């Protein structure tokens, strides 16, 4: 996986030239890479082509409200801390800015040392978030690799041994002429071996969804849903758009894993009797929703617990340049909604 180095860049958005130059010099001297904008639109143009971990923005700009910058950062899903610079008198504006996702604010006139400290803290926060994100996407990749390895080991080791045991049993049985009891034992053993082989095959398929690469996500999903429904008795209604076709194997595998996790959670936690699945194309996005009629849960509270399933789903969607939204309330069922760009994934093709 390629990892871009974290660059400590700041975008200063300030219409007063003296203040702007002062801030640029102050941060440049500390080793930050600084870019400046005097107007809101200019800042948005810069932000659409360049990434900044930290933005220092005056709330009162000649052309736009400072909150427009915050909205832009939010809409683009940028991992950026926006520090608002404001005068004492505009406390209402500060509150509005914090509501729009500002990280912090600083009042004018400011002491350079305090400003530098706040910016350093913001930079560190974004850097740590980046490290955490990088780590969790590495975990997803490593898990996928490990599953393949285990699947291969089980298939090549246990799977092969079982096949040999089965053949040997058959050979012994054919050599026995008149030992009804032994034959019955051997037949019993053969059935047992057969069942174990099926179980091994089920485990290896789950670990390594080679069926996704072989028959494609849509077909593999249908097969999975059939088995799931049979095993759990949960009724599934699937509405899959005819317009969808997939070219990107990485995308198919991640979507398949998201479905697997969401459905396993339904079987394990929800007590649901029905599941509605919808897979559709909206503009340039794939919408994939899995809704159950189970007992639901309090999502913010569950975040604190250490289940890796929800984290993994989010991580997989993020790798594909998308998001997972979980809508759930106790007593009202759960919907796992995944939105990812249609077409090839953003990340390098490592699985």
**Residue numbers of the site for ligand ADP (CB under 6 A)?**
265-266, 268-270, 292, 294-297, 302, 305, 307-310, 334
309 makes contact with Mg ion (CB under 5 A): yes
Beta bridge partners of 65: 60
Specify whether the CB–CB gap between 257 and 249 falls below 8 A.
no
Nearer to ligand ADP, 76 or 273 (CB): 273
Q: Tell me the C-alpha distance between 302 and 285, whole Å.
A: 28
Select the binding partner of residue 209 from Mg ion, ligand ADP, none (C-beta < 5 to 8 A, by kind).
none
Q: Which stretch binds Mg ion (CB under 5 A): 33-41, 78-86, 96-104, 305-313?
A: 305-313
Greatest CA separation found in the chain?
Answer: 105
* Range 15-32 burial, b when 16+ CB lie within 10 A, else e: eeeebbeebbebbeeeeb
Measured distance CA(81)–CA(346) in Å, rounded: 23
Number of residues that bind Mg ion (CB under 5 A): 2
CB of 326 to Mg ion, least distance (A): 12
Q: From the list Mg ion, ligand ADP, none, pick the one residue 86 interacts with, judged by a Cβ distance below 5 to 8 Å according to partner type.
A: none
Give the one entry of ligand ADP, Mg ion, none that residue 89 binds, where binding means its C-beta sits below a cut-off of 5 to 8 angstroms depending on kind: none
Residue 251 contact among Mg ion, ligand ADP, none, beta carbon within 5 to 8 Å by kind = none
How far apart CA 69 and CA 25 sit, in angstroms, is 23
Q: Are strands 33-37 and 81-87 parallel, antiparallel or unpaired?
A: unpaired
Neighbouring CB atoms inside 10 A of 166's CB total 17
Min dist CB 240 to ligand ADP, Å, is: 20
CB of 129 vs ligand ADP, minimal distance in Å: 20
Which residue lies nearer to Mg ion by CB, 251 or 265?
Answer: 265
Contact between 321 and Mg ion per CB under 5 A: no
Distances (CA, A) of 344 to 72, 213, 279, 335: 25, 15, 17, 25
Q: Tell me which of Mg ion, ligand ADP, none is bound by residue 269, counting a contact when its beta carbon lies within the kind-specific cut-off of 5 to 8 angstroms.
A: ligand ADP
Structure tokens at 36: 């400046």
Query: Smallest distance from the beta carbon of 210 to ligand ADP, in angstroms?
Result: 24
State the binding string over 212-251 for Mg ion (x if CB under 5 A, else -). Answer: ----------------------------------------
Least separation in angstroms between residue 233's CB and ligand ADP is 16
Distances (CA, A) of 69 to 97, 130, 188: 10, 21, 72
Q: Which of 80, 265, 334, 338 binds Mg ion (CB under 5 A)?
A: 265
For residue 291, the minimal CB distance to ligand ADP (Å) is 9
The β-bridge partners of 338 are: 288, 324
**Coil, helix or strand at residue 340:** strand
Measured distance CA(155)–CA(160) in Å, rounded? 7
User: Whole-number minimum distance, CB 351 to Mg ion, in Å?
Assistant: 21
The option from ligand ADP, Mg ion, none interacting with 105 (CB < 5 to 8 A, set by class) reads none
Which of ligand ADP, Mg ion, none sits in contact with 297, Cβ below 5 to 8 A by type?
A: ligand ADP
Cα angle value 186/188/194 (rounded, 5°): 100
Local structure of residue 11 (DSSP, 8 states): E
List contacts with Mg ion (CB under 5 A).
265, 309
């Amino acid at each position: 996986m390629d990892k871009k180095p974290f660059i400590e860049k700041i975008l200063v958005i300030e219409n007063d030239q003296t203040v702007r130059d002062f801030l640029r010099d102050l941060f440049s001297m500390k080793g930050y890479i600084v870019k400046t904008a005097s107007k809101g639109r200019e800042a948005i143009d810069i932000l659409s082509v360049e990434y900044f971990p930290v933005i220092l923005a005056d709330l009162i700009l000649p052309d736009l409200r400072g909150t427009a910058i915050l909205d832009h950062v939010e809409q683009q899903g940028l991992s950026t801390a926006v520090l608002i610079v404001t005068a004492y008198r505009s406390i209402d504006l500060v509150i509005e800015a914090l509501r729009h996702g500002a990280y912090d604010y600083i009042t004018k006139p400011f002491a350079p040392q305090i400003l530098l400290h706040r910016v350093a803290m913001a930079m560190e926060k974004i850097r740590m978030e980046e490290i955490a994100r990088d780590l969790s996407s590495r975990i997803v990749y490593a898990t996928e690799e490990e599953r393949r390895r285990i699947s291969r080991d089980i298939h090549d080791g246990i799977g092969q041994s079982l096949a040999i045991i089965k053949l040997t049993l058959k050979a012994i049985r054919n050599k026995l002429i008149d030992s009804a009891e032994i034959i019955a034992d051997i037949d019993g053993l053969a059935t047992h071996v057969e069942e174990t082989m099926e179980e091994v095959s089920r485990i290896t398929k789950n670990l390594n969804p080679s069926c996704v690469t072989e028959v494609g996500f849509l077909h593999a999903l249908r097969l999975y849903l059939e088995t799931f429904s049979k095993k759990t008795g949960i009724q599934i209604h699937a509405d899959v758009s005819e317009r969808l076709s997939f070219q990107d194997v990485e995308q198919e595998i991640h979507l398949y894993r998201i479905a697997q996790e969401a459905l396993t959670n339904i079987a394990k936690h929800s007590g649901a009797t029905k599941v509605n699945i919808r897979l559709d194309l909206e503009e340039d996005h794939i919408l994939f929703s899995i809704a159950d009629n189970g007992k639901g849960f309090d999502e913010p509270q569950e975040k604190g617990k250490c289940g890796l399933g929800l984290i993994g789903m989010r991580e997989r969607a993020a790798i594909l340049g998308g998001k997972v939204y979980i809508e759930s309330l106790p007593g009202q069922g759960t919907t796992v909604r995944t939105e990812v760009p249609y077409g090839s994934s953003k990340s390098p093709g490592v699985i």
